Chain A
Amino acid sequence: MAEHAPMLTLRGLTRRFGGLTAVDAIDLDLAKGGLVSIIGPNGAGKTTLFNLVTGLDRPDAGTVHFEGQDITGLPPERLAAGGIARTFQLGRVFGNLSVMDNVLIGAHTRLRAVKPAVPVIGPLLELGLALLRPASVRDEEERLREEVKAILARFGERLLPRIDQPAYSLSYANRRRVEIARALALKPRLLLLDEPTAGMNPTETTEMQGLVAELKAEGLTILLIEHKLEMVMRLSDRVIVMDEGRKIAEGPGEQVRGDPKVIEAYLGHGLSGSGEQESAA
């Protein structure tokens, strides 16, 4: 049973904005090591669902369980420390920070030497250690920097030569890559990717698909929002289709693709997955 241990379980998750129910009673099960994709037209509530899982927004109803623990409504910093990392649809890198620093922020929850787990005066110790920088702190920083370089190497020559450049100076695609690198630096047990290939050309998309496949093969549990159906079909164990906040279909990719309700949802909104992609780029 171990390989089927549930990693993430959502039950009846609901979020309303005024009169609009952006996420409507969503159930979802994601097993350890699995990859589930969420697709659906723009405004379906996919990003809002991610916000609820990662603590950036709180649900009006329903529960989120992560590795068997109820994490509903916990603040994002707790969830990050618990091993949940995400990327953002619109790409939220720290514009004035270098690529290196952006990815180091990803490793923030793993700092130990400089953040002793001492109650009350912990923050003051952190300030003191940051100023004094004893050998243990320097070693930790050095180790993390090496690790960041290893992570960046996964993107070939895309990021390594730009490691000291501020993120605002990067191309759009590179900023998306920095986001993923930052997420990997957290050593996540659950990774949420919000349209990782938005705005990328076919070559770049293939590259990204390869990377996600690699991560999956390494055993990482992944929740993926993606419009490019080709990629979704290749990677996903299961696909969930959302429309107007509700789950309208769920199952293996091929089955979902042929579902009349799904075709209707996409056509009804006058958008196909790829058409929307072009307008976003």
Chain B
Amino acid sequence: MSSWLDYTINGLIVGNVYALVAVGLALIFGVSRLINFAQGSIYLVGAYIGWVAVVQLHTPLPLTIIVVAVAAALVGLIIERFGLRPLQNSVRIAPLLATIGISFVLDQLVMLTFSPNPRALPSQLPDVRFQVGGGTIGPLDLLIAGVGLTSALLLFVFLRYSKLGWAVRAASQDRDAAMQMGVDVNRVNQAVFGIAAALGGVSGLLVGMYYNQIDTAMSLQATLKGVVAEVVGGAGNVPGAVIGSLLLGLVESYGVAVFGTSYRNLFAFLLLVVVLVLRPNGLFASARQAPPEPLTGTFIAPSRPVRIPRWALLAATAVFAVLPFFPVSFYVLQTLINAWLLGMLALSLTLVAGTIGQVSLGHAALLAIGAYTSALLSLTLNVPVGLAIIGGGLMSAALGTALISPSFRLRGHYVSIATLAIGEIVSLVILNWESVTRGPIGISGIPPLSLFGYELISPNSIYGFSFVVMVVLALLQGRLLSSHLGRSFRAIRDDDIAARAYGLSLNRYKSLAFIFGGFAAGVSGGIAAHLYSYINHETFNTQQSILALTVVILGGLGNVVGAIVGAVALVGLPEVFRIAAEYRILIYGIVLLLLVRFRPQGLLGTI
């Protein structure tokens, strides 16, 4: 039986690991106001380099740590130099998207090199435990604590007594003033990315040893935990990040003690949402902060959208509408059905992320809500499938908006964090709420699509149904954009302060955008549930959220036609070129990076 002391020790040790990730995030945020979504990927890379060192090269422990730190730091420097520095003068959304793209590319590269199967990462320390009071502590615990304290000390000395450290502190206090005083911002960025990556990599190594297992899913989890700890401590606040990490470790550890292991992450994300809502500047932020002053530069890339003549749109619609009447293969229809489902999700996201500027990273949760609602309505209440899908849309609209509404006063990157966390919360609730969602078993035997009593089973009818639904949603969204709501949403995106000064309530209009977008995503999820006939808490995951984001950026943020073109392109092109499934995510990540760098306005332009 574990004692409370054990849970406390465990919490502090895990907190120490989080601190190594969170401190890096805080350093980067302090200097460049950027939340580095690739931090978890560096942690993953660190764990796998550690595995290579330990298992294949048989390095001794101190050398392992040094190898990992140096290799990870190199990765960090490469990210800074080639991923982010070219974006210094681009729109505000660009670096955020770039770190997301980098994270996907790194994760996929690791997965392709090492396979997605978990590996054992043996601890190189003797497996003994010492009695301390009522609990026990092992050498690895001591190592982690030691590495944590040593890094903190080194960092302190660096920041306090070195010239570069002084520059880092100056840049995080007032970047412009620091630049005027001759601080070389590129050097500062290099320094913080290198340090952050070294700490993150070592953290991955230690966690791998602690649990004696590493796998590629660690990356996203680490990013999330690090971000939680950092935000709890106050974004950009280095000591705050350490305290936030220890707090997070303890909250999780005690939560697990009381409720069980599957609740660990739920506690982490609830802590995040509570802090974001109640104290968005962190637990230790000083007095009320003034609203940030006029943001220079625009949020999205300004562009003149490509004008597509009406006849061309009508012709394209007609071609796709009559396609099933020609002898096309089942495979083509299947691919296009996937494109239409993704198109609905992209319509939703292009409204939320593009038109009103709330870059959601948890959009797959809306699919999940719609899918579960529709599946359960039709299975347990015998609601006709057509109505059940509409029910799924409405539930996504209502629940999705309710869940995100406490975060409406957040801006920029914080919105992305909040949506990411809410997405995770939704999937954890689905996993744990067994009486309703059937927990990890998932829902099987979902009835197939049907309309007015006729089952839609043939590929042709499924194709027709999903195409018509998508076109209707697109037309509605086009109509919305041409109304006063379209300009109100876009005004809020371009400058929320000026928008408020002209009477636009952010709560009201963000709600309306999420209601409309939630409906489209919920309908997409509902249709998917009836097509798949089986869903579980992992059917709709973060990869889909990121895929949808890539589609939206490819098409042009806020661009209705662009969302559909983007969906067809990203679903269709890999099929055309017969790219193996495991390379697709990698390609999506690379596409995202190239777009952000070279064509931020997408194919058809932002609207």
Chain A residues near B (Cβ < 8 Å): 17-18, 54-57, 75-77, 80-81, 85-86, 88, 90, 92-97, 101-102, 104-106, 108-109, 111, 114, 123-124, 126-127, 130-131, 133, 141, 166, 168, 182, 186
Q: Kindly state the separation between the CA atoms of A86 and B498 in the bound complex, as whole angstroms.
A: 9
Bound-state Cα–Cα, A101 to B490, Å: 10
Check B174 for interface membership: any CB of A closer than 8 A: no
A77 CA to B483 CA in the complex, in Å?
A: 20
Q: When the two chains form their complex, are residues A166 and B479 in contact, meaning their CB atoms are under 8 A apart?
A: no
Contact partner of B502 among A57, A75, A108, A123, CB < 8 A?
A: A108
User: With the chains together, A133 CA to B485 CA distance in Å?
Assistant: 12
Would B500 and A76 count as touching, CB distance under 8 A?
A: yes
- Other-chain residue from B483, B504, B508 in contact with A105 (beta carbon distance below 8 A): B504
- Pairwise interchain contact A130-B491, C-beta atoms closer than 8 A: no
Chain A residues within 8 Å of B497, by CB: 56, 92
In contact, B512 and A127 (Cβ under 8 angstroms): yes
Bound Cα distance from A275 to B493, whole angstroms: 36
With a cutoff of 8 Å between Cβ atoms, the chain A residues found around residue B494 in the complex are 94-97
Question: B569 an interface residue at 8 Å Cβ cutoff?
Answer: no
In contact, B490 and A126 (Cβ under 8 angstroms):
no
- Of the residues B479, B487, B493, B515, contact of A101 by C-beta under 8 Å: B487
Whether B298 pairs with A168 at a CB distance below 8 angstroms is: yes
B→A interface (CB under 8 Å): 286-287, 290-291, 294, 298, 300, 302, 304, 476, 479-480, 483-485, 487-488, 490-491, 493-495, 497-505, 508, 511-512, 515-516, 606-607
The 9 closest A-B pairs by CB, nearest first: A80-B503, A130-B483, A109-B503, A94-B494, A92-B498, A101-B487, A76-B500, A130-B485, A168-B302
Q: Which of A57, A77, A88, A114 contacts B484 (CB 8 A)?
A: A114
Bound-complex Cα distance A109 to B298 (A): 25
Collect the chain B residues with CB atoms within 8 Å of residue A17's CB. Answer: 290
Is there contact, CB below 8 Å, between B484 and A186? no
A95 to B92, CA, bound (A): 14
CB neighbours (8 Å) of A168 from chain B are 298, 302
Partner pick for A182 among B302, B304, B502, CB 8 A cutoff:
B502
Q: In chain A, what residue has the closest Cβ to B286?
A: A18
Please determine whether B502 and A95 come into contact, CB atoms closer than 8 angstroms: no
A-B contact count (CB 8 A): 111
CB of A104, distance to nearest CB on chain B (Å):
6
Determine the chain B residues whose CB is within 8 A of the CB of A77 once the complex forms.
Answer: 500, 503-505
**Quick one: closest A residue to B296, CB to CB?**
A90
| Residues on B with beta carbons closer than 8 Å to the beta carbon of A86 | 501
Q: How long is the Cα–Cα vector from A144 to B449 in the complex, in angstroms? A: 46
Query: Quick check: A94 and B498 within 8 Å, CB to CB?
Result: yes
Closest chain A residue to B500, Cβ basis? A76
Q: Which of A94, A127, A166 contacts B495 (CB 8 A)?
A: A94
Q: Are A80 and B490 in contact (CB under 8 A)?
A: no
Chain A residues near B501 (CB, 8 Å)?
A: 54-56, 76, 80, 85-86
Contact of B512 among A92, A94, A126, A166 (CB under 8 A): A126
Nearest-Cβ distance from residue B493 to partner chain A, whole angstroms: 8
B287 contacts which chain A residues (CB < 8 A)?
A: 18
Contacts of B286 in A (CB 8 A): 18
Contact A108 B500 (CB under 8 A): no
**A-B contact sample (19 more), CB < 8 A, given A101-B487, A127-B485:** A54-B501, A56-B500, A80-B502, A85-B501, A85-B502, A86-B501, A92-B294, A94-B494, A94-B499, A96-B298, A96-B494, A96-B606, A96-B607, A102-B491, A105-B499, A105-B504, A124-B515, A130-B479, A130-B480
Question: Can you name the residue of chain B whose Cβ is closest to the Cβ of A144?
Answer: B484
Contact assessment for A127 and B515 in the assembled complex, using a CB-CB cutoff below 8 Å? yes
Minimum C-beta distance from A174 to chain B (A): 16
Check if A166 sits within 8 Å of B304, measured CB to CB. Answer: yes
Cβ of A105 and Cβ of B511 under 8 Å apart? no
* Sample (11) of A-B pairs whose CB atoms are under 8 Å apart: A56-B501, A77-B504, A77-B505, A80-B501, A81-B503, A96-B298, A102-B491, A108-B484, A108-B504, A123-B512, A127-B516
Residues from chain A with a CB closer than 8 A to the CB of B290 are 17, 57
Residue of B nearest to A115 (CB): B484
Nearest-CB residue, chain A, relative to B288: A58
Q: Are A97 and B487 in contact (CB under 8 A)?
A: yes
Chain B residues positioned under 8 Å from A131 (CB to CB):
476, 479-480, 483
* Interfacial chain A residues near B291, Cβ < 8 Å: 56-57
For the complex, what is the distance from the CA of A101 to the CA of B488, rounded to whole Å? 9
B158 to chain A, nearest CB (A): 27
B492 to A, closest residue via Cβ: A94
Question: Which of B287, B298, B500, B508 has the most chain A CB atoms inside 10 A of its CB?
Answer: B500
Question: Nearest Cβ distance between residue B16 and chain A, in whole angstroms?
Answer: 33
Residues of A within 8 A of B606 (CB): 96
- Chain B residues near A114 (CB-CB < 8 A): 483-484
Q: How distant is A131 from chain B, measured CB to nearest CB, in Å? A: 6
Q: Which residues of B contact A127 (CB under 8 A)?
A: 480, 485, 512, 515-516
Once the chains bind, are A88 and B490 in contact (CB under 8 Å)?
no
Q: Which residue of B lies closest to A122 (CB)?
A: B508
**Option from B484, B495, B498 in Cβ contact (under 8 Å) with A130:** B484
- CB-CB nearest in chain B for A167: B494
Which residues of chain B are near A92, meaning CB under 8 Å? Answer: 294, 495, 497-498
Bound Cα distance from A106 to B491, whole angstroms: 11
**Distance (Å) between the CB of B408 and the closest chain A CB?**
13
**Would B294 and A88 count as touching, CB distance under 8 A?**
yes
Contacts of A123 in B (CB 8 A): 508, 511-512
Neighbouring B residues of A90 by C-beta, 8 Å: 294
Set B484, B498, B505: member contacting A111, Cβ < 8 A: B484
Rounded to whole Å, the gap between the CB of B581 and the closest CB of chain A is 37
Please give, as numbers and ranges, the residues of chain A lying within 8 Å of B516 by CB-CB distance: 127
> Are B500 and A105 closer than 8 Å at their CB atoms?
no
Contact B495 A108 (CB under 8 A): no
B559 to chain A, nearest CB (A): 12
Chain A residues with CB below 8 A from B500, complex form: 56, 75-77, 80
Rounded to whole Å, the gap between the CB of A195 and the closest CB of chain B is 13
Whole-angstrom CA separation of A141 from B515 in the bound complex: 24
Q: How far is the CB of B347 from chain A (nearest CB, A)?
A: 15
Q: Nearest residue in A to B493 (C-beta to C-beta)?
A: A96
Report B92 CB to chain A, min CB distance, Å. 12
In angstroms, Cα B500 to Cα A228, docked, is 29
Give the interface centre of B480, B485, B606 by most chain A CB atoms within 10 Å. B485
Q: Is the CB of A96 within 8 A of B488?
A: no
Judging by beta carbons under 8 Å apart, are B298 and A105 in contact?
no
CA distance A90 to B607 in the complex (A): 24
B498: chain A residues within 8 A (beta carbon)? 88, 92-94
The smallest C-beta distance from A194 to any residue of chain B, in angstroms, reads 11
Contact of A141 among B294, B484, B504 (CB under 8 A): B484
* A85 to B: closest C-beta gap in Å: 8
B478 to chain A, nearest CB (A): 10
Determine the residue in chain A with the shortest Cβ distance to B506: A77
**A-chain residues with CB within 8 Å of residue B511 when the two chains form the complex:** 123
Residues of chain B within 8 A of A141, CB atoms compared? 484
Chain A residues with CB below 8 A from B479, complex form: 130-131, 133
Chain A residue at minimum C-beta to C-beta distance from B301: A96
Pick from B298, B304, B499, B503: contact of A95, CB under 8 Å: B298
Q: Which residue of the partner chain B has the closest CB to A86? A: B501
Residue in B closest to A98 when the chains form the complex, CB atoms: B487
Q: Is the CB of B491 within 8 A of A97?
A: yes
Q: Are B490 and A94 in contact (CB under 8 A)?
A: yes
CB B113 to nearest CB in A, in angstroms, measures: 42
Which residues from A are CB-within-8-Å of B294?
Answer: 88, 90, 92
Chain B residue nearest in CB terms to A132: B479
Choose one: B483, B493, B502; the contact of A106 (CB below 8 Å).
Answer: B502
Nearest opposing residue in chain A for B558, CB measure: A96
- For A133, the chain B residues whose CB sits under 8 A away are 479, 483
By the criterion CB–CB under 8 Å, are A109 and B502 in contact? yes
A95, B91: Cα distance in complex, Å? 12
Q: How far is the CB of B288 from chain A (nearest CB, A)?
A: 8
